[in-house]
Chains A and B, each alone.
Chain A
Amino acid sequence: MDIINYLKEHENKDMLRFLTCGSVDDGKSTLIGRMLYDSKMIFDDQLAAAESESKKYGTTGEKIDMALLVDGLQSEREQGITIDVAYRFFATENRKYIIADTPGHEQYTRNMVTGASTADVAIILIDARKSILTQTRRHSFIVSLLGIEHVIVAINKMDLVDFSEDRFNEIKAAYSALATELGIQNTYYIPLSALNGDNVVDASEHTPWYHGKPLLGLLDTMDISKEEKAESFRFPVQYVNRPNLDFRGFCGTIAAGRVKVGDEITVLPSGKTTKVKSIINAGDITEANRSVTTEEVFAPMAITITTEDEVDISRGDMIVHTASLPSVSNHLKVMLVWMDEKPMTLERTYDIKRATSVIAGSFDKINYKIDVNTYERMQVDELGLNDIASCKMLLTRPIASDAYSTNRLTGSFIVVDRISNNTVGAGMIVGVSRRDIETVTKEYTQAEIELNAYIRKHFPQWDCKAI
């Protein structure tokens, strides 16, 4: 193909991020290695390195161990397991892919949650000889918890069950029941052998009874667009850009929806309203022209807006359309994944980072902990590493909040320990704790407003919020 045309085509590709779930023995790394190899993303020198390492650590005898192409860290290569999240890349004519390759063992649940957080699609590997195992239930639970709407069930090692259609259908039926139980919307089933490449890139001659696409063909053609309310504009303010007295721009990445010049907007949690005066789409800026403006922008663009009125807006605020306000609260019902060796204790203060706001907060109640394998609910007083629980979270300041199920980027947060500074947890907002809904239209007295302004002017170190 002519290179200029190729570039045109590549320029218009979209992007799909997927997660692979499976344990060591399911051949997950082998599948990824196979996809990279067959889509020509593995170069000769990398292959030669894997070949020499195969002799040392390999588990596949004479064949090149595909897993060694992707297992990054030396300790992992020695132990033959994947212990951390690794990101892989390849592209086809239609899409650029980012693979989150995560470990499958229960002790690495947090790593899988991490990989799942950015994925649009999950590939769940099932060993055709073993059908649905405890780990399959665990992986599927995490996938549904993290809001991944598309699940590809890759029934692997079909060569070891003589490519049996009956076996495939049996596993498919069993998984369908599980998907229904978890409310997973879209499922796709593929019989494959990662080791030999059956139904990975090309349709396999061993499965004439399978009429679906091979894995790569399916990924290439899946519709991953989401049903979204077009008017629900969400813009977490990330940074205030103030090069001179005449320009005060609010920078950030649009989390949802679209906005145009002249739109009426509300700043949360203060509730102040104004209009959009101008918009800069950072992507449009060129070296020659550093002040290009645009009329309308949409998610996930990185933009800068200016406002008609001099409204106090700072990092951590959320700008939304006045016509579509989210609820604002400091008491939220959340699903929490604990990621630290040190247990989560109730009432302890942590820093909660949601979008661009960092607010001190604590968990005042554990509603229940959920067993990731059996989905049983349990009453507990603290959460240990990899525990997943429904909790109530109490923040020291209210935030504009969306449910994770409607907006992944404004409905998610991380928990940071204030002493170790580690990321100790990750959570998803389920909703506002009912009795604590605050109205955003609180009227302040003139005295309150003046006192607030005085404090902010003379005691900036108190980080007092504008009212």
Chain B
Amino acid sequence: MNKKVDLSTLTHLKQLEAESIHILREVVAEFTNPVMMYSVGKDSSVMLHLAMKAFAPSKLPFPLLHVDTLWKFREMIEFRDQRAKDLGFDLIVHSNPEGIEMNISPFEHGSKVHTDIMKTQALKQALNAGGYDAIIGGARRDEEKSRAKERIFSFRDKHHRWDPKNQRPELWNVYNTAIAKGESVRVFPISNWTELDIWQYIYLEGIPIPSLYFAKEQSVVEYGGTKIMVDDERMPAELRATAKKEMVRFRTLGCYPLTGAINSTATTLPEIIQEMLLSTSSEREGRLIDKDQEGAMELKKVEGYF
């Protein structure tokens, strides 16, 4: 007897959720030493939430890795440590010792040098030290043009390099996880989620996120064509002197000198979503790192950045 089964009985969010959980389980089933990148932001929060679902009732079968550039918002660090305590996952934190030695500062050395040394190089150090064969990341395809072409299971050679012109075909939900020793795969379980999906899901599932995403009165200064928050004393004094109190929030979280704030009055998730729907600029606009040069993200990715 043929009965019509409606494939749409799962909403798009439930379909995305199931797809992500499938990907996370595939990683744990196929690799011997996986790790999940944890950046403390909303995408990481969703990914962590999905992983907690995928392996319930067990604990997370992999550690979380946070590459701390030492210039993250202070609240991010507090939030990170609280989550680790609440959920009981293993947290690995790494900062580039050479960068600490050189006292790298985005204000002094610029975003390009800072990102390269404190993020890309630091990430490679942490990955080499851990010997991970699968690195789970929270990148989404709608974020940036070069990401739109990246595979969900994205092969990296021994030097963590991505070859955009020579990617493995990826069909159905069958993922090729075969690699040789020393090579690795970056896995992006939330590739097919959009910014709106992420917010909607956070709202529906009640996922904790740092309060920086919500509008608050903060001290901000004009810097590099955007507004940045005065988060600590390391901001040059002459810049700090120009600080003004404004109602702002952040659409993405990263290094505070490189993360632009937007003026906003959105203090709840529905208000954030409403603001996002009416917004005329993309979330990455606030990220100074994408704009250093044309094709900036693609180049950074080739070199090993997420």
Contact = CB atoms under 8 A, between A and B. Distances in A.
Contacts of B10: 14, 300-301
Contacts of B200: 7, 10-11
Interface string A95-113: 1101000000000001101
Interface of B: 1-19, 21-22, 25-26, 28-29, 49, 52-59, 86-87, 141-142, 145-149, 164-165, 167-174, 176, 178-180, 191-192, 194, 196-197, 200, 203-205, 270-271, 273-274, 277, 279-282, 285, 294-295, 298
Contacts, number: 229
Contact of B204 (A11, A15, A226): A11
A351 interface: yes
9 contacts: A6-B274, A43-B285, A89-B192, A238-B25, A239-B29, A287-B49, A300-B10, A354-B174, A355-B174
A396 interface: no
Contacts of B3: 228-230
Contact of B176 (A96, A117, A354, A416): A416
A302 B172 CA distance: 16
Contacts of A225: 4-8
B148 A356 contact: no
Contacts of B180: 421
Given A45-B281, A45-B285, A3 B274 contact: yes
A224 interface: yes
B207 to A, nearest CB: 8
B172 A300 contact: no
A117 B29 contact: no
Interface stretch (A72-80, A164-172, A434-442): A72-80
A391 interface: no
A89 B174 contact: no
A291 B56 contact: yes
Q: Which residue, B56, B147, B148, B167, has most C-beta atoms of chain A within 10 A? A: B56
Contact of B273 (A3, A113, A224, A351): A3
A15 B25 contact: no
Given A45-B282, A46-B282, A408-B172, A96 B12 contact: yes
Contacts of A302: 17-18, 21-22, 25, 54
A87 interface: yes
**Shortest 4 CB-CB contacts between residues of A and residues of B:** A14-B8, A302-B21, A15-B12, A243-B58
A14 B149 contact: no
Q: Which residue, B5, B58, B59, B87, has most C-beta atoms of chain A within 10 A? A: B5
Interface in A341-397: 351, 353-356
Interface of A: 3-4, 6-7, 10-15, 43-46, 53, 70-75, 77, 83-89, 91, 95-96, 98, 110-111, 113-114, 117-118, 224-230, 238-239, 241-243, 247, 249, 251-253, 257-258, 280, 282-283, 285-287, 290-291, 298-302, 304, 315, 339, 351, 353-356, 408-409, 412-414, 416, 421-423, 426
B171 A113 contact: yes
Contact of A253 (B22, B53, B57, B204): B22
Given A3-B273, A15-B15, 13 more contacts: A14-B8, A85-B149, A96-B12, A96-B197, A230-B5, A238-B22, A252-B25, A257-B5, A354-B174, A409-B172, A413-B174, A416-B178, A423-B171
B39 to A, nearest CB: 19
A226 B7 contact: yes
B11 A12 contact: yes
B4 A7 contact: no
B204 A43 contact: no
Contacts of A14: 8, 10-12, 15
B17 A283 contact: yes
A423 B12 contact: no
A110 B165 contact: no
A21 B142 CA distance: 21
Given A44-B281, A285-B53, A351-B178, A53 B294 contact: yes
Contact of B270 (A4, A304, A426): A4
Nearest to B176: A423
B6 A117 contact: no
B147 to A, nearest CB: 8
Contact of B282 (A6, A43, A257, A285): A43
B87 A287 contact: yes
Contacts of A258: 5
A241 B55 contact: yes
B273 A111 contact: no
A283 B25 contact: no
Contacts of A70: 145, 148
B173 A409 contact: yes
Given A43-B285, A114-B169, A73 B164 contact: yes
Contacts of B56: 280, 282, 285, 290-291, 304
B11 A227 contact: no
Nearest to A355: B174
Contacts of B294: 53, 74
A365 to B, nearest CB: 23
B209 to A, nearest CB: 13
A398 B147 CA distance: 38
Nearest to B295: A74
A88 B204 contact: no
Contacts of A409: 172-173
A280 B55 CA distance: 11
Contacts of A4: 270
A35 to B, nearest CB: 14
A290 B191 contact: no
Nearest to B207: A287
Nearest to B164: A73
Given A72-B149, A118-B172, A224-B7, A282 B285 contact: no
